Amino acid sequence: MSNALIGKQRKVELKKNLNDIRLIIPIFLLDKLKVHPLTEGMYPISLGKSQNNFYQIQQKRTSSHWLIYSLTDHGVLHYKNKVRKLKRGDLVVISPNEAFEYKLQIENKKNIKIAHKNALFWINFDGCLADYFAQRLLMKMDDGVAHVGALTNISNDFDELLELGSRGYTATNVIHAVHVLQQSLSFLALQLRLTSFNNNSSFNLNDVETLMQNNLHQELSLDALAHHSQLSKFHFLKKFKELTDSSPIQHFINMKIQRACFQLDNTEKTIKIIGGELGYSDPYYFSRLFKKVIGMSPKQYRESRHQ
């Protein structure tokens, strides 16, 4: 084989290797992450990214959680006696002590351009709160698989995590990386919740909140809100709480108090006028309600901005 051919082959191999990034957190660092108050809740053990035509992850048993985020249509998952084809935007979460195999195999390379948009991300994570983070995801998944879509912020977060290897294992870098991971998993849990809700309901939370914002000057009853959403009071209340963890009336009151805070901070209007503009004709009732939500009276709140 000629030197030119050997050189060309090495360049191809080098280019291929650059499409795979794997980061293993060193033992000395894991020992610190397990006990540091800012990282013990959840931390990465290993993570990686692939942009190759062929890639395989196989695990007979693991003591930590696995998360795989696919940005390609060519993945196949073997898990819990099922074989499932994964599409671009699919998320996989594997619990500890579960065997699985993931294969990414693109047969027709000529028609596929491997790029950032066709990447595969994976991560192992652990910690005293790892089970809680994983459960928030799994509760809206089908045997550990769900579609969240191609989310730019999530792929950017993973890229930022992988940069930890080049930035160095300083305490500041690692703590930041841990919180990026927690932010990503929290966002994915929220995305799964919204996707699951939207796929199974015609309820439009944004529409209801717009109605509330447009009527902060008056009262809105539960009957009126349910009628606007074309639902019974029971079903409206159930769906609203599922999305906001709050009752619709309390949510509406919180909006009113938020508007009152803005007025107290940015205008010289009296407390009586502000309360009246929000539908509260009795200033004493408005003050009690404000204090119940914020923890201080409107007068104390206004005075606190100068302290």
Please enumerate in sequence order all residues whose Cβ is within 8 A of that of 25, keeping only pairs 6 or more positions apart, or say none. Answer: 33, 43, 44, 45, 46
pLDDT of residue 147: 92
Last residue of a domain, one of 199, 227, 244: 199
Residues 225 and 123 reside in one and the same domain: no
> pLDDT at residue 15 above 60?
no
Alpha carbons 225 and 206: distance in angstroms, whole number: 13
Residues 65 and 136 reside in one and the same domain: yes
The answer to whether position 4 is within a domain reads: no
What is the distance, to the nearest Å, from the Cα of residue 92 to the centroid of all Cα atoms in its chain? 14
Q: Write out the residue range of the structural domain in which residue 220 sits.
A: 205-304
pLDDT of residue 167: 82
Is 297:287 a contact under the CB 8 Å cutoff?
yes
Higher pLDDT, 199 or 6: 199
CA 173, 178, 180, 181 torsion-angle sign: positive
pLDDT of residue 11: 43
Give tens-digit pLDDT for 218-249. Answer: 999 999 999 998 889 998 998 888 888 889 99
Residues 136 and 258 reside in one and the same domain: no
Based on the structure, what is the number of domains in the chain?
2
pLDDT of residue 13: 43
Give tens-digit pLDDT for 100-154. Answer: 999 987 665 554 444 445 789 999 999 999 999 999 999 989 999 999 999 999 9
Q: What is the pTM of this model?
A: 0.71
pLDDT of residue 59: 85
> pLDDT at residue 12 above 50?
no
